[in-house]
Chain A
Amino acid sequence: MNPVSTLKTFEDIDCEFPKSLQSALELMADEKTRGQPLAGGTDLMVQWESGVIPIPDRAISVKNIPELREIRENGSNVIIGGSVTHMELRQSPIVRRWLPSLAEAAATIGGFQIQIMGTIAGNVANASPAADLAPSLLITDGTVLLASVEGEREVKLTELWTGYRKIDRRPEELIVSFNLPKLLDDYFESWRKLGPRKAQAISKVMGSSRGRISNGVVESFKVALGSVAPTAIRFFELEQWITGKPYSKETLQEAEQRSAALINPISDIRSTAEYRKWVSGKLVRCFLENLAGRSNK
């Protein structure tokens, strides 16, 4: 008997709390014990409670598995466990030093209450085109480590999102960690999110870039945007085109036009495709200008 309103989620759901990665993977291996991986619950709990997605029979809580909680340097890479929270990301000296755009993106997700619950793997697995961390992950050319009892599998982040709210994870797999190349010296990163202003819109466009301009030439430029397509995307065509080009007014202008042309967002009544295209071009231009500004120093 519940005299008060209750969480529908945990009335029928069986939630397991494995203490180690191995026991979690064992639970995931068998269809009978497999459950929806659950970390901070900041997306799933709300979606379940509001009826947006059906409540599954079982869930596996991965939030407190020690192996998934670490942030460490590994040579030229940074390893970040799947259950690291947004708060830990934005506070970690390692992340701030070597992956500044990721730290900045994490700081823009919700207020304190969401940041201490939500995790990097959760943000990635929710696979929203508007996932805040996605662009910052994409520009690193890093990988994600997935595991099952059968073994481990490394997937390029640029190949992880396969469609709207879909990722390349097999049912028995869990996201273990992210292996992200550090920002090299003389390279710079930028992050920007356009806040939703309209009442009726969850339309925000956000993006990250990483690159280097040397002696007036764009030596390297990687850029990814969210909310402009069914998944967050890298702008490979633009990156190829711009590499080796002189940093000039003309280059900027063409980069802006090319970026706007690259995306094909869905136009719904909440926001227009036209707006997202226009803003995408402007964001890319702004990233390049920002990069040039810092490179000259």
Chain B
Amino acid sequence: MSHLRLTVNGEPVELDVPESRYLAEVLRHDLGLTGTKIGCNEAECGICTVLVNGYPVDSCIYPAFKAQGATVETIEGLSKDGELHPLQQAFHEHGATQCGFCTPGLIMTGKALLDDKLKTGETVTEKDIKIALKDTYCRCTGYQSVINAILQASGQDVKPYLPKTRDPYVSVGRAAPSPDSIKKLTGSAMYTDDFVFPGMLYARTKRANIAHARIKSIDTEKAGSLPGVYAVLTHRDVPGRKTHGLVTMDWPVLCSDKVRYAGDAVAVVAAEDADTAAAALEMIDVEYEELPVVSDPIEAAGPDAPIVHEERPDGNLLKHIKVRKGSVEDGFAGSDVVVERTYRTPMTEQMFLEPECSIGVPKGYNPMEFGGKVDPESDRGVMHVHRKTTIYCGTQIPYLDRDQTAASLGVKEEDIRIVATLMGGGFGGKEDVAAQIHVALLAERTGRPVKMLYTRAESMLFHPKRHATIIRIKTGAKKNGQLTAVEAELYGDGGAYASLSEKVMTRATTHASGPYDVPNVRVDCYAMYTNNTPCGAFRGFGVTQSCFAVESNMDIVAGELGMDPVELRRINALDVGGVTCTGQVLRESAGLKECIDLLEKEMRAHHEDIGEAFRWSWKDGGSRYAWGVAVGYKNTGLGGGAPDKAGAEVEIWNDSHLGTLAEVRTSSAEMGQGLPAVLAACVSEELGIPCANVRVLLGDTDYCPDGGPTTASRQTYVSGNAARIAAGQIRVILAGIVAEKLGCSPGDLELRDGNFHAGGVSASIAEAVEWAKSRGRPTKMMYEYWAPKTQPLGTGGDMHVAFGFGGQAVLVEVVEDTGEVGVLKVIGAHDVGRAINPLTLEGQIDGGIVMCLGNTLTEHYVVEDGKPWSTVMARYKMPSIKHTPKIISHIVEHETRDGPYGAKGIGELSSIPTSPAITNAIRNAVGVRWMSLPVDQDALLRAMKAGDSEAGIGWGDNAAVPELPKRPPSYSVPA
């Protein structure tokens, strides 16, 4: 024990702490300052940064006793007397906070820089910021807004970067920071690990750490008798359904007969502290009989491959997905140019900065029984008697968590309550159940709250990744550039469990002819089971992969035709009246051509602004520079015939201090994408009250209607519509009563500036609410919005309600001597239907571009024979602030009829064309077409030296991209 004397945020603090406690936990656990977040525990991500004697330190690896006598500053100490620090204010205005989990680290590191510059009187430059913050990661913002915010906070006149959009209505179309941003900026935002319940236990999971084996025995006796251990559970302790899954129930809650990947859960332990739980894991004896491993989707399709799920009729085939349109034979026969290539993309990791955390609270839990008190003022009111088994977690699909947990506990869905806390990023990686079922089981077994926080290593080992794919694609075109046919074959590595493979690979398949009107298309996709980490949802949802192949081929076709690659895309771009490869006729809202025009104009302006003619590539010093262009599209909503609905409830009331308030409630998830801002704008627009007066409650299954999964870029569309319509219904009720009072027709009333006007008379919205209450009229409405019906793949018709279209032009630099690739500038043009909030919209665009820049240049989740090599954050390079390019953003607004105010989804679109745009640019710069991701700098240099026109590498090492098997897989393919 050390007796520690500190000054924390100006307050003297004395406490005894063990030497083994690091500063981050002293702050978070002992002092309750949970604004400081922990992302990796390996001094890699920097989000735990606090200032010790004015210097920024990674508090997750800084022993607390080393801070003896020091002055410590944390995020909570920055705002004084309710006045935000200039950095907080600037982050707020610039929308530099998305999920908010890394925000405290960015701000504290930024403060160290500003304080330092203040001493010397030097001006803060972008370069200074890129040096100071290069070890502080952010996965949401793409850093451009962060850089601008810090520059503004240093006293420079830097305005938030906003793309040009149409004039706003009242609130819709107006740039505004997200309503929850202030909490995130001051450290008071609560994520799951920030909650501590009296009597709480700490849980850990016993992982297989072996890729494929039969379980012969599991012995938990020793572990169970370790003092401090409250429960050790195995598959025998799962009372209800033994498996979970979002589409196919094939994922064991706890493994019984077999383990199928290294991250499989075999047992869970709850103990009085995390160390005891970890010690107990070591005492669980599991006897395995190792089985041969299959770790490649093509091998998995072979006749002799080890079978991952013996019970399945189709061997390792998870799903065969087909797209058929016209006759590709005829199409290729009429082609002047046919290009056929094979591309390869690796598994990648979402790397949300908040590792998964769940807390299970048992039915009947009373904090007073454990020395606590019932406190209705606690955040989200957690300190109360729990009537139901309750799970607090960051999740993208609260209602499906509820259903899956109930099934495994053998209880009714209504007996489970999910409280979705704030989420430190998701990007698709928090759709599958993590520890939700485990903590519920442990809580019910022990009668106490149980917290399960994954370590970064465990998070990386466990959760589903982006699918690795091998894509062979053949594109035919006529001399005039018109595409005649596209034929493609895709293999997707689904990993050990189904997760969302079927849906993801369907999206890869249906987008495999690109956003073009191609008369003849045939695509076959084989999603395969392997013993790798399961693959599931990741921003882009399969389209990121197929777009890489499609758009690479498009540039090759342009080259063979001697045609400008922009022109080739313009000729073939889907437009109103065009037909997608699944047979959907686009009747509206297809702004791709406008996007392409804007890209071209902006690329030209780059040169013309400095008085030179446009050129695709040039050489300067030891570097080569070039532009590359790619376009893409992405469905909004689930589509494919799935019921696509979201419910929202809106209530309006008068507060004696704050005026007329409204609250919108839905179980959709906010993971940093800005949904609260969108919902608030919709309600504000309909009810004529300021956005600031609209509260947003998300993800509590007892209070919020089902918003459906937060996936497929759908929430603005479905939950936005539900909120808009529910609020609109209240407006109709209010208008009715105002009309009665004023003696006019409701149709004559106009809602403007918070007042109903008719002729010369008016009534305020507050009066209307009072009248409605006094007459017993409803002031709360629930609306369940159903998106227009869609058709399943293969039946023709509308497979999706809308598509977002976009394109990007990228300027790269390749250093001739070293093969280093730098992305200098990205021009984006995206058709989003209608920009509801240009500030948060731009956040999605910047973040998507930089995430996909990582997908192209640095990111690769390496698995070797089923054994992940990328086990720690240091072994997974995501883009840091120094990679941030200059981003110029254009918004195209071709409204879609059924979207709220015409809006479509944007969450994924921005991370789709970036990869091929970069590799096309590399090709234009140095003459090497890159056939695989990520772009390997060694191999690129080798190819440049050898004068190869095409190159790529396999997974894991420098092997060549393998050829696809000549024949289809040996098993019978369902018709």
Contacts and interface: CB of A to CB of B under 8 A. Distances in A.
Interface of A: 1-11, 13, 15, 41-42, 45-46, 49-50, 87, 107, 110-114, 116-117, 194-201, 203, 269, 271-272, 274-275, 278-279, 282-283, 285-286
A198 B856 CA distance: 10
Tell me the dominant secondary structure on chain B's binding face: loop
A197 B28 CA distance: 35
B130 to A, nearest CB: 10
A111 B133 contact: yes
A113 B109 CA distance: 8
Contacts of B109: 111-113
Tell me the dominant secondary structure on chain A's binding face: loop
Contacts of B112: 112
Interface in B165-183: none
Contact of B869 (A46, A111, A195, A200): A200
Given A199-B877, A278-B945, A3 B274 contact: yes
Contacts of A13: 19
B930 to A, nearest CB: 13
Q: Which 10 A-B pairs have the closest CB atoms?
A: A111-B135, A199-B860, A282-B817, A275-B938, A6-B20, A10-B19, A11-B20, A269-B957, A4-B25, A111-B134
B455 A112 contact: no
A199 B820 contact: no
Contacts, number: 163
A110 B936 contact: no
A46 B870 CA distance: 16
Contacts of A107: 131
Contacts of A46: 42-43, 61, 874
Nearest to B935: A197
Contacts of A195: 820
B272 interface: yes
A7 B46 CA distance: 17
A275 B937 CA distance: 9
Contacts of A49: 41-42, 61
A13 B65 CA distance: 13
Interface string B667-687: 000000000000000000000
A279 B817 contact: yes
27 contacts: A1-B273, A2-B20, A4-B29, A5-B274, A5-B453, A6-B18, A6-B274, A7-B21, A7-B22, A10-B20, A11-B20, A41-B61, A46-B61, A112-B135, A113-B46, A114-B43, A114-B58, A116-B56, A197-B821, A197-B858, A199-B876, A269-B957, A271-B938, A279-B941, A282-B818, A283-B817, A285-B817
B447 interface: no
Interface in B107-133: 109, 112-113, 131-133
A199 B858 contact: yes
Nearest to A271: B938
A1 B870 CA distance: 32
A259 to B, nearest CB: 12
B43 A42 contact: yes
B135 A110 contact: yes
A113 B57 contact: yes
B63 interface: yes
Given A6-B21, A7-B21, A117-B57, A198 B42 contact: no
A269 B653 CA distance: 65
A116 to B, nearest CB: 5
B346 to A, nearest CB: 8
A111 B872 CA distance: 19
Given A111-B109, A112-B112, A113-B109, A15 B19 contact: yes
B942 interface: yes
Given A4-B274, A50-B872, A199 B859 contact: yes
B49 interface: yes
B552 to A, nearest CB: 20
A130 B820 CA distance: 18
Interface in B810-834: 817-821
B396 interface: no
A7 B23 CA distance: 10
Contacts of A6: 18, 20-22, 25, 274-275
A45 to B, nearest CB: 5
Nearest to B130: A111
B908 to A, nearest CB: 21
A100 to B, nearest CB: 16
A295 to B, nearest CB: 19
Contacts of A110: 134-135
B18 A2 contact: yes
B63 A7 contact: yes
B879 to A, nearest CB: 11
A113 B113 CA distance: 11
B352 interface: no
Given A1-B272, A4-B29, A200-B860, A45 B55 contact: no
